[in-house]
Structure 1
Amino acid sequence: MLDLIIDARPASLGNGFTVKRILPYRLRRMLGPFIFMDHGGPVSFSPEQAPSMDVLPHPHIGLSTVSYLFDGQVTHRDSLGVQQIIRPGEVNWMTAGRGIAHSERFEDPATLAGGSLEMIQTWVALPEADEESAPTFENYQPDQLPVFTDTGVWLRLIAGDAFGLKNGVKTHSPLFYAHVVLQPGARFGLPVGFPERGAYVAKGSVEVNGHTYSAGQLLVFTRGIDPILVAKETCTLMLLGGEPLGERYIWWNFVSSRLDRIEQAKADWQAGRIALPPNDNAEFVPLPQDKSRPAGTPPPQPLS
């Protein structure tokens, strides 16, 4: 029934902010088109800490970034000139296509006054036909995201199609992504019709087939199996998956079906050919030194 259990690993963003890294994982690089998943927080910080927590302008290609908050707020700025505050229950969906740069800054007075911040960020790889598309950004408000309720069950559809629900979030391939809260004893399944499906336990614990799984675990389910998840306590789940896209390379913030395109993106960022956000261009994240392999060794294998 369970194909794999992925335990989140701590990952530093390099600014004192440590997140739980779920995808990619060495035994499971992608889940449907989802190629990256981080769970940040819950964390509280002071006004003095805030500048060091900011994610400075940095580039992306070949993917959509999807930001979803449980608590707090984040200010997004990008090279299209967009400035957008994202709050809990909203979705920021940025499609990088051929290239975009953006920043994420923690400027919320409530958070700076000691409130908490908690968010999930995923990356969705693009089909080959859309990898070089023009970059776009959309913010979707909670009233644009359908909610389903039943005894002990609350669900918000973030994107895609699931459980007979749809919304206007623009996606590029068949997928589902949902935020679910279960009360103790509630039973719930996964959407049918998708070859790759998983459930990330963000809070609490669930039982599947007599085994209990806790916060920080991504449950990846065998194709053709329709599991029942039973809440052992009040729990929060992120359900995700969809149709696989095929092989992808990932390096830093770049995703592509072609290794040479990753190399081009490195050169473009280093040479300043990917524009910075016009309202946040005083600083940026430099291209990291690639220490992944010694000179002369074969290139990395694609993700599939």
Structure 2
Amino acid sequence: MKTRTIDTIAYGQPMDMGGFPIRQALPSTKADMLDPFLLLHHANIKVPQHVDVKNAGVGPHPHRGFSPVTFIFKGGVHHRDSRGNSHIVYEGGTQWMNAGMGVIHSERPPANIHELGSTQELIQLWINTPAANKMDAPAYIPVTKEDTPVVRSADGLTSIQVVAGELNGVKGPITPQTSINMFTIHIKKGGTYFIPFASSHNAFIYALEGNIHINEQSALAAFYMASFNKDGEGVQITATEDSVLLMGTGEPLNEPVVSHGPFVMNNQTQLLEAFRDYQMGKMGVLIEE
């Protein structure tokens, strides 16, 4: 199979999101979005010992029209939402939420975060929802590390969690609304692996730590995201250091995107309706307990 060439490499710029330090690799100065992927935030924080975990993390806020997906690399996340869900997922797990017509949720550290080392490292990825499904009922899907299948290389240097989609015949536990693959990759120094995917998909790799070479040429260091041209059927990764990566590929929706804050719709009228419905309480109420 022909390997894809790199389109852009973007740095995850440090930002403050209401007192929550993150790195934003998408959107960047090089790309507003990578259809259907809208936003990528990487957080790696120490939860202060003196702060009640009920007041740490991200408090209640609404979403409509896309899927905010949280990949947990260290610690854990306690998700609560206005549909009555309350669930903790720990390291190696994923929280996949289809916001649909609207939901209010919070993402706090679990009560035992300090027993786990006080560190929370996660990526939140926003995945656009097709216009036909934006007003579907919301859905929340928690997946543990134990429930996530792993593809391993013969030499044992590469292990790839298949969260959604498929890799080499192994299917992930999440069935997205459109054709999407999501992989979390741990690859030790000297490891190499070819990852195939559909020629029609957009694709990216974000490095949380380490350093890799893509197609034995371009280097990708920690906190950088590579996106690819549509000129092949996969990418080859080779680790020059022990590395941790998030990789996503997806069929473009090719639909108009109008967004503001927590809502992603197809036109301005729908966006105004989202704000109105939230203010009228139509997305429910979240009382954290």
CA deviations over 1:118-150 (Å, ceiling 9, x no partner): 011111111111111011111122333210111
Unaligned 5+ segments in structure 2 are none
CA deviations over 1:75-117 (Å, ceiling 9, x no partner): 1110111100111122211111111100111243333785211
Q: Which residue of 2 aligns with 1:238?
A: 246
Determine if contact 1:202/1:237 at 8 Å carries over to the other structure.
yes
Distance in 1 between the 2:202 and 2:239 partners? 22
What is the total number of aligned residue pairs between the two structures?
A: 279
Distance in 2 between the 1:52 and 1:272 partners? 23
Determine if contact 2:193/2:236 at 8 Å carries over to the other structure.
yes
Q: Which residue of 2 aligns with 1:216?
A: 223
Pair 1:175-2:180 in alignment:
yes
Give the drift of 1:55.
1.2
Determine if contact 1:173/1:243 at 8 Å carries over to the other structure.
yes
Q: In structure 1, give the amino acid aligned to 2:209.
A: K
Identify which range, 64-73 or 51-60, moves more after superposition: 51-60
Pair 1:7-2:7 in alignment:
no
Gap change, CA 1:186 and 1:83, over 3 Å in 2: same
Matches within 5 A, 1:187-266: 187-194=192-199, 195-208=201-214, 209-225=216-232, 226-246=234-254, 247-266=256-275
Q: In structure 2, give the amino acid aligned to 1:203.
A: E
> Residue 19 of structure 1 is aligned with which of 22, 39, 42?
22
Q: Which residue of 2 aligns with 1:59?
A: 62
SS of corresponding position for 2:101: coil
Q: In structure 2, give the amino acid aligned to 1:280.
A: E
Q: Which residue of 2 aligns with 1:84?
A: 87
Unaligned 5+ segments in structure 1 are 282-304
Alignment identity in percent?
A: 27
Distance in 2 between the 1:32 and 1:256 partners? 14
SS of corresponding position for 1:143: coil
CA deviations over 1:148-207 (Å, ceiling 9, x no partner): 111211110111223322123121000111001111111123332143111111110012
Identify which range, 258-267 or 105-114, moves more after superposition: 105-114
Q: In structure 2, give the amino acid aligned to 1:251.
A: H
SS of corresponding position for 1:213: strand
Distance in 2 between the 1:52 and 1:143 partners? 29
SS of corresponding position for 2:100: coil
Identify which range, 68-77 or 135-144, moves more after superposition: 135-144
Determine if contact 1:187/1:229 at 8 Å carries over to the other structure.
yes
Q: Which residue of 2 aligns with 1:284?
A: none
Pair 1:161-2:162 in alignment:
no
Which structure's residues are more often strand, by fraction?
2
Q: Which residue of 2 aligns with 1:146?
A: 149
Gap change, CA 1:57 and 1:44, over 3 Å in 2: closer
Q: In structure 2, give the amino acid aligned to 1:215.
A: A
Determine if contact 1:40/1:120 at 8 Å carries over to the other structure.
yes
Pair 1:270-2:285 in alignment:
no
Q: Which residue of 1 aligns with 2:190?
A: 185
Q: TM-score, normalised by structure 1?
A: 0.85
Determine if contact 1:17/1:53 at 8 Å carries over to the other structure.
no
SS of corresponding position for 2:271: helix
Determine if contact 1:89/1:141 at 8 Å carries over to the other structure.
yes
Determine if contact 1:46/1:114 at 8 Å carries over to the other structure.
no
Matches within 5 A, 1:88-167: 88-111=91-114, 114-150=117-153, 151=155, 152-167=157-172
Pair 1:69-2:72 in alignment:
yes
Gap change, CA 1:45 and 1:191, over 3 Å in 2: farther
Determine if contact 1:159/1:176 at 8 Å carries over to the other structure.
yes
Identify which range, 262-271 or 104-113, moves more after superposition: 104-113
Gap change, CA 1:230 and 1:38, over 3 Å in 2: same
Gap change, CA 1:267 and 1:113, over 3 Å in 2: same
CA RMSD of aligned residues (A): 2.0
SS of corresponding position for 2:270: helix
CA deviations over 1:222-247 (Å, ceiling 9, x no partner): 11234322111100111112111122
Gap change, CA 1:175 and 1:114, over 3 Å in 2: closer
SS of corresponding position for 1:262: helix
